[in-house]
A and B are shown apart, each in its own frame.
Chain A
Amino acid sequence: MSFPWAQHYTPKAPLMQWIDQRLPLPRLVYNAVGAGYPVPRNLNYFWNFGVLSGLALMIQIVTGIIMAMHYGANELVAFSSIEHTMRDVNGGWLMRYAHANGASFFFIVVYLHIFRGLYFSSYKAPREMVWLLGLVIFLLMMATAFMGYVLPWGQMSYWGAKVITGLFGAIPLVGEPIQTWLLGGFAPGNAALNRFFSLHYLLPFVIAGVIILHIWALHIPGSSNPTGVEVKGPQDTVPFHPYYTAKDGFGAGVFLILFAILLYFAPNFLGHPDNYIEANPLSTPAHIVPEWYFWPFYAILRAFTFDFFFIPAKLLGVLAMFASILLLFFLPWLDTSPVRSGNYRPVFKKFFWILVADVLVLGYCGGAPAAEPFVMISQVAAAYYFAHFLIILPLIAMFEKPLPLPGSITEAVLAKHGEHGAAVVPAE
């Protein structure tokens, strides 16, 4: 599970020896996130976002458990119980704003984590399983966030639930029975609210479980690094603790400062005013939008305004939206270039940034009203999104001439820090 030169856990205190012989839990922690886990010495700050995602999940679980203490999962009281939390519960406003904005910060760090993986090709062998499990976590996060947004039972909650469960109604033949089954009624109501609450409480713990698998799978080959060159010897690594606990700790400080700024000074900046109106099944808000983190996918959903042969536009949009995420499961086998890091792939690097811009454009269109020119722009951007993964990446892998790779991580690090050539120790 680790490199042969990893430090061994040797507890000195008699109590710790006693525990270690009976339940080697401290040993597990030491080997996973302590001095017993050697990590490439050249990780940059983009490698902070895994730990930051874990921190965001912890914030969500703690604030969420507190929210559940004051929440009533019933369509008659759900909306007022949130207002009660905001106005009457001691510090309730803080818990609720922390939970709502915490979700946004969770997605911010996870998106950065995913794009880090895309740029440095962290999905490539032997880390495919890490990538696949990460996508499972992402899907679970989206389901959790969607159901959580329904719970305040405001207008956006209600109509969001209606539109998203309506997606299943687009499936031929079985669609409507599935939609009715999911909602426990013909429209969102008490049954839907209750089951969403139940699942919203459950799924974060499922996410925590899959995160353990994600880290387990990561620790088999060890972390990737900005050069993409594998670790060749002890000189290429440093122990996780104290080196990366310190670096991650600094990142966590920056993360918490930014979180606090949003939380205390603009807690409704990312929210939607319509959700402060109680759900009304007889009146649709003029402009239904999901939360910002779903906008790119919402834009792909709405990009299909035309029927294609016998497939109706509505079903096409739904298929494309799901495909845009499922496609990523095949990424390790679509990008066949043997070079991992984008730093050594001049052509790939350019297209990576085009993809980033493309997703930002999709995001902007997803939040905009469904009118021209946004429909046309999202059609082009959605087409490009699929082309990037299905056509451009495989072609780059075939024709690109990568830059020469450094001989080892140590060589790359020392080359960067001047003429200390004498210190270079060849890998064994």
Chain B
Amino acid sequence: MATLEETGTSDAGASGEEGVRRRDFINIAAVSFAGVGGVVAVLPLINQMNPSADVLAMATTEVDLSGIQPGQAIKTTFRSQPLFVRQLTPKEIAEADKVDPSTLRDPQSLEERTVDGKKQWLITMGVCTHLGCVPLGAGEGENRGEFGGYFCPCHGSSYDTAARIRKGPAPKNLEVPAYKFTSDTAILVG
């Protein structure tokens, strides 16, 4: 080591006043260059695990609402996960509006969870926000829980008529995905 130090010192003398030895500079520059190159090379190895183009191509779903009567719901898929599309009855809307949102675990009013003027259309993911089970309540005759919305059988989370979490371990309301009405009776989700 001592001989290296000596060589280095004489190098420094040759390279100028800054005190950065030519050999140190080359060393750091070379290792940094290789390090950055290594990271850049790893990026595609990581990125290949993200959703592929065909998975992303199925990332939007069109739903025809014309056949859904008030009080009915259908179960379809959005991004290969269940999507609940429900037309609320006036009674269910009234029940949802009766609750003061500030008393809820995840405070949201029914207005905030629906599109302006289309308050009866409640479109949510059918994925419990606890650990991702599919709640019951969209199908005919299924248990809708004690708040009349959806009920998750896995760990007993109950959602109300606006699909807001009311009881059980789930931390959030059922997620409302981004969607827009393409006509009066059709929506595009995603």
Report whether A181 and B156 are in contact in the complex, using a CB–CB cutoff of 8 Å: no
Among the 9-residue stretches B9-17, B18-26, B29-37, B50-58, the one with 4 or more Cβ atoms under 8 Å from chain A is B50-58
Q: How large is the interface on A (under 10, 10 to 19, 20 to 34, 35 or more residues)?
A: 20 to 34
Report whether A181 and B50 are in contact in the complex, using a CB–CB cutoff of 8 Å: yes
Report whether A186 and B80 are in contact in the complex, using a CB–CB cutoff of 8 Å: yes
Residue of B nearest to A179 (CB): B132
Q: Which residues A281-301 have CB closer than 8 A to chain B?
A: 281-284, 286-288
Contact of A313 with B by CB under 8 A: yes
B185: min CB distance to chain A, Å: 23
Q: Which residues B104-154 have CB closer than 8 A to chain A?
A: 126, 130-134, 153-154
A170: min CB distance to chain B, Å: 9
Majority secondary structure, B binding face: loop
Residue of A nearest to B83 (CB): A282
A271 surroundings in chain B (CB, below 8 A): none
A173: min CB distance to chain B, Å: 15
Q: How large is the interface on B (under 10, 10 to 19, 20 to 34, 35 or more residues)?
A: 20 to 34
Contact of B180 with A by CB under 8 A: no
Q: Which residues A147-169 have CB closer than 8 A to chain B?
A: 159, 162-163, 166-167, 169
B41: min CB distance to chain A, Å: 18
Contact of B77 with A by CB under 8 A: yes
Report whether B50 and A281 are in contact in the complex, using a CB–CB cutoff of 8 Å: no
B149: min CB distance to chain A, Å: 17
Report whether A305 and B169 are in contact in the complex, using a CB–CB cutoff of 8 Å: yes
Given contacts A184-B50, A305-B169, contact A370 B155 (CB under 8 A): yes
Given contacts A284-B153, A313-B169, A313-B171, contact A195 B49 (CB under 8 A): yes
Contact of B8 with A by CB under 8 A: no
A192: min CB distance to chain B, Å: 10
B126 surroundings in chain A (CB, below 8 A): 282
Report whether A184 and B51 are in contact in the complex, using a CB–CB cutoff of 8 Å: yes
Report whether A184 and B49 are in contact in the complex, using a CB–CB cutoff of 8 Å: yes
Complex Cα spacing A305 to B82, Å: 25
A118 surroundings in chain B (CB, below 8 A): none
Report whether B133 and A159 are in contact in the complex, using a CB–CB cutoff of 8 Å: yes
Residue of A nearest to B170 (CB): A314
Report whether B81 and A186 are in contact in the complex, using a CB–CB cutoff of 8 Å: yes
Residue of A nearest to B154 (CB): A288
Contact of A67 with B by CB under 8 A: no
A370 surroundings in chain B (CB, below 8 A): 154-156, 169
Report whether B81 and A166 are in contact in the complex, using a CB–CB cutoff of 8 Å: no
Complex Cα spacing A184 to B55, Å: 8
A146: min CB distance to chain B, Å: 15
A302: min CB distance to chain B, Å: 7
Report whether B51 and A180 are in contact in the complex, using a CB–CB cutoff of 8 Å: yes
B155 surroundings in chain A (CB, below 8 A): 302, 370
A287 surroundings in chain B (CB, below 8 A): 154
Given contacts A181-B49, A281-B80, contact A288 B130 (CB under 8 A): no
Pick the contact of B80 from A187, A195, A305, A312 — CB < 8 Å?
A187
Give 9 nearest A-B pairs by CB, closest first. A186-B79, A284-B133, A166-B132, A284-B134, A370-B155, A163-B131, A312-B171, A185-B55, A187-B80
Q: Can you list 25 contacts pairing A with B, beta carbon distance less than 8 Å?
A: A162-B131, A163-B131, A166-B131, A184-B50, A184-B52, A184-B55, A185-B51, A185-B80, A186-B55, A186-B81, A187-B81, A281-B81, A282-B77, A282-B126, A284-B133, A284-B153, A288-B131, A288-B133, A305-B169, A307-B171, A313-B171, A314-B130, A314-B169, A314-B171, A370-B169
Q: List 13 additional contacts besides A281-B81, A302-B155; criterion CB under 8 Å.
A: A162-B132, A163-B131, A166-B132, A167-B131, A184-B52, A185-B79, A185-B80, A186-B51, A187-B81, A189-B80, A284-B134, A284-B154, A305-B169
